[in-house]
């Protein structure tokens, strides 16, 4: 695969917050079909990096290229168009609690809809084929009319993935999607996320190296905003991890 | 009136933080107690002295006979069909003014709230918007610092006795208040979903509708109903200016001493207020916000919707509200033509040029300062009366909660319920009869001055304070009390040890809070001739001395602002 078709390409990217560098001079590229695990201790810059990849946080230096566009050079309307192609799931899920599940799934394609349709869908909406299929895929086919706040933690996680599915993203970003889950549940959710990212690229920040080995193709270690390592998961060994988490 | 009930939701948020480096010792406590005592005793003594040293007598002995006549007709109200027809028409006009006025306030509030909220601008409003917001904020503060009645007086001099005056006089100050609350409500909704939607490329308007409205709508609706409840009281009050409705009929009957009609009208006012109060309370309880106390300080944090379930009552209420609004629009006979007419433009132009530059009233600075002092003294005494009313009626209006020893049964329980109903009804009467009417009645027995004004305002404020405090008392956490009872402490001692401190705290916070509103409300009783800035204003408006009116408005604004700042400071201090 040529580097021209890279989904993500970072060159000398940095982000400064009030005198402190969250990310410093980072070079990174991700090819289509790759599944990248971001590893590193809390505060290493994983969330900052993901926010920059999504375009919701501008880089303070360097260039961020995502899906062929220079994120920093886009006007707001163009940025929105780009963001519609990027799916982002955070640990908080950010679901709207007070509405029915189908609205939260619809939220994934809000960007594709004209304003009037988006507003109308808040009042009159029924699960069409796409929404029902997405809910079926995450095992929540029965829940379209459930009120979101009534679902359990695991079910809410699945709603967030169904939202991602209807968005049909070309790049899936996930910020610690499984850090509050037990191991069994975590593997299940990662499997669903991976399936949602089928054919596109997937970047996920994780705290568990085993999950990275199972679900990803590549491991990127971040330490104090800098690249610590960037290896295929097969080469992810205990020495590297010990260095990363300062376990020695 | 009560529009300030809800103002400072934000002041409670930093109540938990203890100032670092400040240690509370026995000495601090003693010093604080002394300061608090002086803060209560000295102003009250000053106000009392000022009220009784007017030079003239206090009690008008001839007027007492009139009062006697008034009471004598209590059991024989006017029930002639043609008079009942007048009452019904008056009630329709009052409700219509309140409904259309509330609708106007909601429009102003929705637009203003969006502009004022930070979340609508993603916390980074452009420079031009920031400037506009600053201006808008100042405008809204000024708009709500002027009492509805004063708005009505000012608007009458431009629009004449147009129904539009009644609507605008409610819509403008209420809208200013609503804008503030709506803005804060929008900012209080968790922002994660909005960020998630925006980061997936959704446009601003649908993203905000999806992420903010579901969380905010129950609160906004609750608040709208609460506003309507307040608007009814204001609409009755505005009758004094001559705009029609129950208030006007009341004042006319009082002044022509048709006592039997007064009683019929008072009953009508009570009925309308009670129905709207009950409706609004039920809807709010069903939807999200349990009592209007949720909108006041003394409660922890900003109001949050408690129940996500959609209430059927709320839905029906919204439908009825919309239909009722359309009916009210026709019933009130409001037309916006008055706003754009040639005459209005001319009069507005003249009013604006007349208002500036400000001039001192007759008697110069001394007269102005005298009026300010009268206003403050009146508010202080009124508050003392209100606290007295609350202390006497409040405990009865608080529904007793069952302790670990089990509730009371049988006859005792029935009596408790009756006492509760009676106390609540008394408070409803006190706050529903407009303070102007209380003032006119008080002026029958007392010579014009601070005292009748304070009495009228005190009874009215007592009705509001009593309800607020009783509702707060009902919400007091019973765990501390139960723990004491479980450890074998007797009931009376438990009451003193575990129930009194939080009760006193609620009473204190609400008293400080209502005091700020009370200062503003003095305008109302002033207009019918009690004393203070309100009276000065009414006198000068009557002879079209507009430059003086400007001065008085500025003075009222200054007094309101000063009390508000002082109140905030004191509320903060009692939390430390």
Residue of A nearest to B201 (CA): A80
Contact B215/A97, CB-based, under 8 Å? yes
This model's pTM is above 0.95? no
A58 Cβ under 8 Å from any chain B Cβ: no
pLDDT given for residue A49 in this prediction = 93
A139-172 burial, b for 16+ CB within 10 Å, e for fewer?
ebeebbeeebeebeeebbbbbbbbbbbbbbbbbb
pLDDT given for residue A230 in this prediction = 92
Residue B362 DSSP SS3? coil
For testing contact with chain B, the best of A52, A94, A115 (most B CBs within 10 A):
A94
B507: Cβ contacts below 8 Å, ≥ 6 apart: B387, B390, B391, B394, B469
Contact A115/B206, CB-based, under 8 Å? yes
Using an 8 Å CB-CB cutoff, list chain B residues near A83: 198-201
A28-47 burial, b for 16+ CB within 10 Å, e for fewer?
bebbeebbbbbbbeeebbbb
Directed axis angle between helix B148-159 and helix B204-238, to 10°? Answer: 80
| DSSP state string for A119-179 | HHHHHS----HHHHHHHHHTT-TT-TTSBGGGS-HHHHHHHHHHHHHHH--SEEEEESTTT
Using an 8 Å CB-CB cutoff, list chain A residues near B211: 96
Contact A122/B198, CB-based, under 8 Å? no
pLDDT given for residue B420 in this prediction = 87
pLDDT given for residue B554 in this prediction = 86
Strands A201-205 and A35-39: parallel
A55 Cβ under 8 Å from any chain B Cβ: yes
Contact A119/B205, CB-based, under 8 Å? yes
Sign of the four-CA dihedral A105, A107, A110, A116: positive
Residue from B509, B466, B480, B514 nearest B12 by CA: B509
Residue for token digits 């925006």?
B198
pLDDT given for residue B398 in this prediction = 82
pLDDT given for residue B310 in this prediction = 55
Among A residues 166-185, those touching chain B with beta carbons less than 8 Å apart: 167
DSSP state of A200: S
Residue from B510, B552, B370, B524 nearest B454 by CA: B524
pLDDT given for residue A12 in this prediction = 92
Residue B251 DSSP SS3? helix
Q: CA-CA distance, A106 to A162, in Å (whole number)?
A: 9
Walking along chain B (576 residues) 10 residues at a time, the average pLDDT comes out as 36 43 75 84 86 68 75 76 87 90 92 88 82 88 85 83 87 91 86 88 88 85 86 87 85 84 88 86 67 38 45 79 83 72 75 75 82 89 93 83 55 84 89 84 81 90 89 78 80 80 83 85 80 84 82 86 83 70
Which residues of chain A carry a pLDDT beneath 70? 1-4, 247-248
Contact A121, A169 (CB under 8 A): no
Q: CA-CA distance, A162 to A149, in Å (whole number)?
A: 16
pLDDT given for residue B409 in this prediction = 66
pLDDT given for residue B301 in this prediction = 38
Using an 8 Å CB-CB cutoff, list chain B residues near A119: 205-206, 209
Residue of B nearest to A91 (CA): B192
Residue from B208, B186, B195 nearest B9 by CA: B186
A86-121 pLDDT, tens per residue? Answer: 999 988 888 988 888 999 999 988 888 888 988 888
A78 Cβ under 8 Å from any chain B Cβ: no
Q: State the smallest CA–CA distance between residue A85 and chain B in angstroms.
A: 8
B interface with A, Cβ–Cβ below 8 Å: 192-193, 195-203, 205-207, 209-211, 213-215, 305, 308-309
Q: CA-CA distance, B427 to B470, in Å (whole number)?
A: 10
Q: State the smallest CA–CA distance between residue B218 and chain A in angstroms.
A: 10
Q: Of the candidates A86, A93, A110, which has its C-beta nearest B210's C-beta? A: A110
pLDDT given for residue A134 in this prediction = 93
Q: Of the candidates A85, A98, A115, which has its C-beta nearest B203's C-beta? A: A115
A83 Cβ under 8 Å from any chain B Cβ: yes
Q: State the smallest CA–CA distance between residue A51 and chain B in angstroms.
A: 9
Among A residues 1-40, those touching chain B with beta carbons less than 8 Å apart: none
DSSP state of B294: G
Q: Which domains does chain B have, with CATH numbers?
A: 87-338 (1.10.3720.10), 361-471+500-575 (1.10.3720.10)
A157 Cβ under 8 Å from any chain B Cβ: no
Q: CA-CA distance, B5 to B515, in Å (whole number)?
A: 11
pLDDT given for residue B575 in this prediction = 67
Q: CA-CA distance, B264 to B267, in Å (whole number)?
A: 5
B558: Cβ contacts below 8 Å, ≥ 6 apart: none
CB atoms within 10 A of CB B58: 13
| Helical spans, DSSP H, in chain A | 46-54, 76-83, 101-106, 115-123, 129-137, 153-167, 183-196, 209-215, 238-244
């Amino acid at each position: 695969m040529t580097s021209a078709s890279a989904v993500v390409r970072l060159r000398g990217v940095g982000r400064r917050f009030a005198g402190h560098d969250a990310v410093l001079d980072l070079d990174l590229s991700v090819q289509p079909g790759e599944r990248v695990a971001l590893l590193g201790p809390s505060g290493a810059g994983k969330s900052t990096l993901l926010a920059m990849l999504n375009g919701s946080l501008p880089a303070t230096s360097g260039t961020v290229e995502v899906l062929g566009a220079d994120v920093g050079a886009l006007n707001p309307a163009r940025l929105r168009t780009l963001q519609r192609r990027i799916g982002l799931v955070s640990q908080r899920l950010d679901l709207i609690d007070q509405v029915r599940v189908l609205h939260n799934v619809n939220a994934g394609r809000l960007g594709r809809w004209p304003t009037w349709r988006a507003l109308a869908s808040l009042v009159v909406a029924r699960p069409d084929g796409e929404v029902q299929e997405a809910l079926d895929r995450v095992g929540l086919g029965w829940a379209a009319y459930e009120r979101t706040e009534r679902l359990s933690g695991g079910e809410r996680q699945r709603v967030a993935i169904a939202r991602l599915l209807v968005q049909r993203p070309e790049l899936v970003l996930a910020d610690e999607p499984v850090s509050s889950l037990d191991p069994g549940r975590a593997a299940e959710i990662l499997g669903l996320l991976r399936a949602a990212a089928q054919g596109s690229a997937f970047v996920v920040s994780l705290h568990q190296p085993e999950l990275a080995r199972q679900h990803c193709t590549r491991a990127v270690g971040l330490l104090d905003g800098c690249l610590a390592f960037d290896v295929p998961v097969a080469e992810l060994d205990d020495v590297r991890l010990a260095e990363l988490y300062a376990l020695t | 009136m009560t529009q300030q009930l809800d103002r400072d939701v934000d002041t409670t948020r930093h109540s938990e933080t203890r100032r670092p480096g400040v240690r509370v010792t026995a000495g601090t406590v003693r010093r604080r107690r002394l300061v608090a005592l002086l803060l209560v005793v000295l102003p009250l003594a000053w106000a009392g002295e000022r009220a009784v040293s007017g030079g003239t007598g206090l009690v008008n002995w001839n007027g007492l006979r009139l009062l006697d006549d008034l009471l004598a007709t209590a059991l024989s109200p006017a029930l002639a069909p043609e008079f009942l027809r007048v009452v019904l028409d008056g009630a329709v006009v009052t409700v219509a003014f309140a409904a259309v006025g509330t609708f106007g306030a909601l429009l102003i509030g929705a637009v203003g709230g969006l502009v004022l909220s930070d979340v609508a601008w993603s916390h980074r409003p452009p420079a031009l918007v920031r400037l506009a917001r600053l201006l808008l904020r100042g405008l809204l503060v000024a708009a709500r610092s002027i009492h509805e009645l004063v708005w009505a007086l000012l608007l009458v001099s431009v629009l004449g006795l147009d129904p539009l005056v009644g609507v605008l006089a409610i819509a403008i100050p209420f809208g200013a208040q609503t804008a503030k609350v709506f803005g804060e409500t929008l900012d209080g909704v968790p922002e994660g979903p909005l960020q998630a939607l925006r980061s997936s490329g959704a446009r601003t308007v649908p993203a905000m509708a999806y992420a903010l409205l579901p969380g905010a709508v129950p609160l906004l609706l609750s608040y709208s109903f609460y506003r309507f409840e307040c608007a009814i009281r204001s609409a009755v009050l505005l009758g004094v200016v001559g705009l029609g409705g129950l208030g006007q009929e009341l004042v006319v009957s009082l002044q022509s001493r048709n006592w039997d009609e007064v009683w019929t009208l008072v009953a009508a006012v009570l009925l309308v207020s009670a129905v709207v109060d009950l409706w609004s309370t039920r809807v709010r309880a069903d939807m999200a916000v349990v009592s209007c106390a949720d909108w006041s300080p003394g409660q922890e944090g900003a109001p949050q919707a408690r129940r996500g379930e959609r209430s059927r009552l709320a839905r029906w209420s919204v439908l009825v509200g919309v239909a009722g609004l359309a009916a009210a629009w026709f019933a009130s006979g409001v037309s916006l033509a008055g706003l754009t007419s040639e005459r209005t433009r001319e009069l507005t132009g003249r009013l604006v040029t007349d208002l500036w530059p400000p001039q001192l009233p007759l008697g110069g600075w001394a007269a102005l300062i005298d009026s300010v002092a009268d206003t403050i003294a009146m508010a202080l005494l009124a508050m003392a009366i209100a606290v007295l009313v609350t202390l006497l009626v409040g405990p009865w209006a608080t529904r007793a909660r069952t302790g670990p020893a089990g509730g009371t049964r049988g006859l005792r329980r029935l009596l408790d319920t009756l006492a509760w109903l009676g106390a609540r009804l008394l408070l409803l009467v006190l706050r529903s009869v407009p303070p102007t009417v209380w003032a006119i009645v008080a002026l029958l027995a007392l010579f014009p001055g601070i005292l009748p004004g304070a009495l009228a305002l005190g009874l009215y404020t007592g009705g509001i304070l009593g309800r607020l405090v009783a509702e707060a008392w009902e919400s007091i956490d019973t765990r501390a009390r139960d723990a004491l009872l479980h450890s074998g402490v007797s009931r009376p001692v438990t009451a003193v040890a575990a129930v009194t401190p939080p009760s006193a705290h609620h009473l204190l916070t609400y008293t400080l809070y209502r005091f700020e509103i009370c200062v503003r409300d003095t305008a109302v009783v002033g207009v019918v001739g009690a004393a203070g800035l309100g009276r000065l204003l009414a006198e000068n408006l009557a002879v079209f001395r507009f430059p003086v009116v400007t001065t008085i408005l500025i003075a009222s604004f200054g007094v309101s602002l000063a009390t508000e700042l002082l109140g905030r400071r004191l509320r903060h201090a009692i939390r430390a």
